Amino acid sequence: MGLLTEWISHLITFILLAVVIELILPNGSFQKYVKMVVGLLFIFILFSPLLHLFHGNVDTWFASIQRQQNETIENDIERKKKEIQASQRAYILEQMAVQLKNTAAEELMRTYGLTVTDVSLTIGESDQIPPPIEAITVELAEEATSVVKPIRIQSSPSTTEQHDDIARFLAHMWEVDPEMITIHLERRE
């Protein structure tokens, strides 16, 4: 508020001084040069608050603009880095699932007559490559080898025992803990 009142008082003082100078000067060719100088000084005083704003803060403004640009660039780089890491983790996860599926497919067919339809991995939050596996979900389906299946009458192990047996088999093949493996068996009739 003090800056505004000071500015207005400078304007009023200058206008009064300009009027007095104009009244004192005699008419002639010298008067138009004085009017031009007084007009330029008036414009300077009129825009002096803007000059005060830009005077001392130019270096500070440039430094803050540079700092903001650096922060923006760093944020962009960090965001891109996270996107790349996420896509890399997804690719590694997919490749690990395909590799586990390919490793187990032939042996499961031979031993249990089952095909692997899908392998899903749950991994931990870590920067390790490959990331630590927390859980493996395996979806299996019975292989339909012929249209008419032979009828067998025998006592088969319960579903949970069969799932546990398959989980132990896969855990041994993949060298992981059997508790990490969850089996979903789709029966085709």
Angle at which helices 159-174 and 48-112 cross, to 10°:
110
> What is the pLDDT at residue 143?
66
pLDDT band at 60 (very low <50, low <70, confident <90, very high): confident
Average pLDDT, the chain: 80
Q: What does the alpha-carbon distance between residue 52 and residue 48 come to, in Å, rounded to a whole number? A: 6
Q: Which helix (H) or strand (E) holds 119?
A: strand 114-123
Q: Which helix (H) or strand (E) holds 3?
A: helix 2-24
pLDDT band at 187 (very low <50, low <70, confident <90, very high): low
For the segment(s) 97-145+157-186, the CATH number from 3.30.300.30, 3.40.640.10, 3.40.50.620, 3.40.30.10 is 3.30.300.30
The reply to whether the predicted model has a pTM over 0.75 is no
Residue 46 clears pLDDT 80, i.e. is over it = yes
> What is the pLDDT at residue 148?
54
Report yes or no: 133 and 180 within 8 Å, Cβ to Cβ: yes
Q: Which residue has the higher pLDDT, 86 or 76?
A: 76
> What is the pLDDT at residue 154?
46
pLDDT band at 80 (very low <50, low <70, confident <90, very high): very high
pLDDT tens per residue, range 113-140:
888 888 888 877 776 666 677 888 888 8
> What is the pLDDT at residue 175?
81
pLDDT band at 53 (very low <50, low <70, confident <90, very high): low
Q: Which residue has the higher pLDDT, 150 or 112?
A: 112
